[in-house]
Structure 1
Amino acid sequence: MTTKQVAAPRRPVATMSVGHAAVDFYQGAVPALVPFLVAERHYGYAAASGIVLAATLLSSLVQPLFGSLTDRWTMPWLIPVSTLCAGLGIALSGLGDSYVLTCLAVALSGIGVAAYHPEAARLARVASGGSHVAMGWFSLGGNIGFALAPAAVGPLLSAGSLSASPWLAVPAVAGVLLTVHVIRALAPRAAVAKAAARRAGRDNWPEFLRLTAVIVCRSVVFVGLSAFIAVYAQQRVGGGATAGSAALFVLFAGGAVGTVLGGRLASRWGRVRTVRIAYAACVPAVAGLVLVPGPALYVFAALTATALYVPFSLHITLGQDLLPNRMGTASGVTLGLAVSVGGVASPAIGALADATSLRTALLPLIALCVVAWLVARTLTEPGEDDARRPSEEGAGQEAASVPQR
């Protein structure tokens, strides 16, 4: 598949982006719930961490499973059902006092999030008409939903306590009502696209595994910075909690800019070249963030987030094109399993910071950017090898037909 772009219908892509925002709202809602659970139910740090783990790790691990299921069968109905499950789990999490039931409710939400992404990514690809810009907007929808969750959960539960949690189901219901007609319209086209993709070529597992390695490095870098940049900004800049909140805002805002910019750059330069340039830019950006003191930290935070998010939507379409027979699995891995590694690595960064300093603990992130860039240099645009192979074989046959002297 080449990087030639076609115009994407705006309305279906925009609608799918809204649905993506509704689902990823519940990923952001889990950490926003934790302070209220700690305050009202007197949970300790270990118990609070268990609730977050029940949502994030379970969601990430089962996404490839749902991806495998959608590779076997076209399941557009899974999108609205999973959206409702994500909302129902969070809505129930604030009711009752049982820790086990709270974990199960949050886990249900995580499973809903996991079930949504593989099939939704497939339909979004169909709706985009092959446009990298459109896929960037679809990815941005998820980022916006995640970012909006704390702004909605905090005021709602502050006013009504945990007993107001059923109101948190509203985004899920709204997301389903807004997207169900588009999903119904896209489903036949998705089935045709799946059959065409299977005829397009073989799965390229070696290159897909290299792409996964790149995504893992990116995940550790971004999640590590997300977890510690607020504290680090207070140490390096001063200004207390305000300085930390500003750094976190810059990191998330830069990510939104990078997500949209990535699609536009890929339309001009191609996906793989854009990915390589983005990770090359990550190296000095993260180095400046970690090593340069003073207010310049905010500039490097913006550059880092932009560079890390430029390839975000491109990872999804590259994975789908590398595994044309298993596009659901590819979507599940690029959106789920690889991303979870960042959360698993965060405690290691914290432990190293306790043993040394936070600055020392963040230094390995620079090295991971270098690794991501080096591995990205080995990637090729899907289809290039297949396009070269016939010409190479033809050249070889022509050379064989020439009499040897």
Structure 2
Amino acid sequence: MTRLSSDPGSAATLSPADKSGQAQGFLASIVGATALAHGCNDMIQAVLPSIYPMLKASFSLSYTQIGLISLVYQLTASLLQPWVGLYTDKHPKPFLLPAGMGVTLLGIGLLAIAGNFLTILAAAALVGVGSSTFHPEASRVARMASGGRFGTAQSAFQVGGNAGSAFGPVLAALLIIPHGQLSVAWLMLCALTAIVILTRVSRWSARHGHQHMIRHGSAPLQKMSKGKMVQALVVVSVLMFAKFTYIASLSNYFTFYLVQRFSLPLERAQMCLFAFLAAVAIGTFAGGPIGDRIGRKAVVWLSFLGVIPFALILPHVDLLWTVVLTIIIGLVLSSAFAALVVYAQEVVPGRPGMVAGIMFGTMFGVGGLAAAGLGKLADMYGIDWVYGLCAFLPLLGFATLFMPETRSKQK
């Protein structure tokens, strides 16, 4: 594994291991560092929806206002990401990583002392801006260090975020909800840890990242016409809409659903949410390496078609089977994300940061709009009705039929 050197004189030279090419194919230390920082980032983000019930009670918020908090956070986390990615593809700015985490740090502090709904919205916006700076650049660094195993690197990077998202509700249940809003400030330690990690990653990226990416190129790609490129991106957009609207229904409102339908205590409901999010993390990790072997399109097929029967049954079962089915859904549906990201990067070669920004931006944007829309529907028709409606979303996975192939030879 490569050490993160702090020697300024190493900027123009590569270590013997770097020069060997094969020995330094997949840099687990760099990919692992980006995954760990991603975990810190997304754990902070996951705490926000996890404390919605506490905020709802403390500030007498409606489901619509809860949805607006998600909307503000998700939109600020999404709108800037493509532009950050496009700019850093042309003008790399690796130290944006710790700087963005600094903005998240400010958002956490504001959330801990927020005294009204508007201040909560401002805090959510700051956390979103920090996220929009982090994701495209960190994803690009993980790709740089992949040694050509792009799906594996993307999965490792994403599973760090999903693991953080899974532990967010646990942290909220054990630390924040019992001790109140001010205890949110403990998350500042997590942000500071991420800043230290990202500073070291940024040094490696500034010195060796570009050379390493050139050395380990991808397999030959199909020459794709503009029409086919548009078709591919439209299909990816449809699949992202289906996946993240469904995920938003669970990550934002699952605790409300369990409390209302099964009279489950809030702490136990948070643990059920943790089980779902942990399954998402495991499924995400599996999807990338499988996609490197059997192809991105095959993984997407397995992910969407495999989840359809479980999603349709979910609104009609008891508590035990609700938990079991959500775990299965998390495992199966999440496996598609890394494949979709790498597929889109193959459709638009040479712009990994921009594509990552669009993909993560779409994820957050769709999640935010879905959270707001589903919150409004929950106020109008009830949370049970919302889950009945969302059960049909995985059927949009049949759009995979129209995905053009990108590789002339699969690995």
How big is each residue's C-alpha offset from its partner over 1:341-367, in whole Å with a ceiling of 9 and x where there is no partner?
233234544555566665554344343
Structure showing greater relative contact order (alpha-carbon pairs closer than 8 Å, 6 or more residues apart): 2
Q: Does 1:123 align with 2:141?
A: yes
What does 1:33-48 align with in structure 2 at a 5 Å threshold? 34=52, 42=59, 44-45=61-62
Q: Which residue of 2 aligns with 1:111?
A: 129
What does 1:118-267 align with in structure 2 at a 5 Å threshold? 118-131=136-149, 132-153=151-172, 156-157=175-176, 162-192=181-211, 193=213, 204-233=229-258, 238=262, 240-241=264-265, 244-245=269-270, 247-267=272-292
Q: Which residue of 2 aligns with 1:403?
A: none
Please identify, of 27-36 and 249-258, the stretch whose mean Cα deviation from structure 2 is larger: 27-36
Name the CA distance, whole Å, in 2 between partners of 1:162 and 1:289.
33
Name the CA distance, whole Å, in 2 between partners of 1:323 and 1:18.
27
Deviation at 1:91, TM superposition (A): 1.7
What does 1:5-404 align with in structure 2 at a 5 Å threshold? 8-32=26-50, 34=52, 42=59, 44-45=61-62, 49-95=67-113, 97=115, 100-131=118-149, 132-153=151-172, 156-157=175-176, 162-192=181-211, 193=213, 204-233=229-258, 238=262, 240-241=264-265, 244-245=269-270, 247-293=272-318, 295-349=320-374, 352=377, 358-372=383-397, 374-384=398-408
For this pair of structures, how many residues does the alignment match? 377
Structure possessing the higher radius of gyration over alpha carbons: 1
Q: What residue identity is the alignment partner of 2:236? A: L
Q: What residue identity is the alignment partner of 1:266? A: G
Q: What residue identity is the alignment partner of 2:197? A: L
Please identify, of 125-134 and 169-178, the stretch whose mean Cα deviation from structure 2 is larger: 125-134
Name the CA distance, whole Å, in 1 between partners of 2:258 and 2:56.
26
SS at match of 1:377: helix
Name the CA distance, whole Å, in 1 between partners of 2:135 and 2:110.
22
- Shift in alpha-carbon separation, 1:44–1:283, aligned structure 2, 3 A: closer
Name the CA distance, whole Å, in 1 between partners of 2:41 and 2:184.
16
SS at match of 2:303: helix
Taking every aligned residue pair, what percent have the same amino acid on both sides?
25
How big is each residue's C-alpha offset from its partner over 1:305-340, in whole Å with a ceiling of 9 and x where there is no partner?
111111122222222222123322211121122442
Name the CA distance, whole Å, in 2 between partners of 1:296 and 1:37.
29
How big is each residue's C-alpha offset from its partner over 1:120-140, in whole Å with a ceiling of 9 and x where there is no partner?
111111122232233212111
How big is each residue's C-alpha offset from its partner over 1:7-31, in whole Å with a ceiling of 9 and x where there is no partner?
6232221111111112212212323
SS at match of 2:402: coil
Q: Which runs of 5+ in 1 are unaligned?
A: 1-5, 389-405
Q: CA RMSD in A?
A: 3.4
Deviation at 1:217, TM superposition (A): 0.9
Please identify, of 324-333 and 155-164, the stretch whose mean Cα deviation from structure 2 is larger: 155-164
Q: What residue identity is the alignment partner of 1:140? A: V
SS at match of 2:80: helix
